[in-house]
Amino acid sequence: MIIAAITWDLHVPASHSLKEKRSVLSRVKARLRNEFNVSVAETGSQDTWQRAELTACLVAGDRRHAESVLESLDRVVASSAGCRIIDSVRTFF
């Protein structure tokens, strides 16, 4: 069993308030939860309008499957409207 997490540092360029930022992030989080059944949370930059940090976590039977899911998650976030990935970090436990 392996626990995998990915953290994205995001830029939300069209956001001019925390409400607008949370609207963008809510759509991204809902899509990740619905399509991949992973846990997702806003873990940083919570008081900044145009920056966000999201972290997704999953439990998998082996590392190869976990890496595959993280790659899929990364593609979904990269293609999401309203935000752009600045950096991402993957962690395995």
The Cα 46–Cα 51 span in angstroms is 8
Q: Which two tokens stand for residue 42?
A: 């806003």
Q: What is the pTM of this model?
A: 0.93
Q: Identify the structural domains of the chain with CATH numbers, from first to last.
A: 2-92 (3.30.70.1120)
The Cα 11–Cα 73 span in angstroms is 17
The model's pLDDT over 10-46, given as tens digits with 9 standing for 90+, comes to 999 999 999 999 999 999 999 999 999 999 999 998 8
* Burial track 7-42 (b if 16+ CB lie within 10 A, e otherwise): bbebebeebeeeeebbebbeebbebbeeeeebebeb
The model's pLDDT over 59-90, given as tens digits with 9 standing for 90+, comes to 999 999 999 999 999 999 999 999 999 999 99
Instruction: Return the sign of the alpha-carbon dihedral for residues 54, 59, 62, 68.
Output: negative
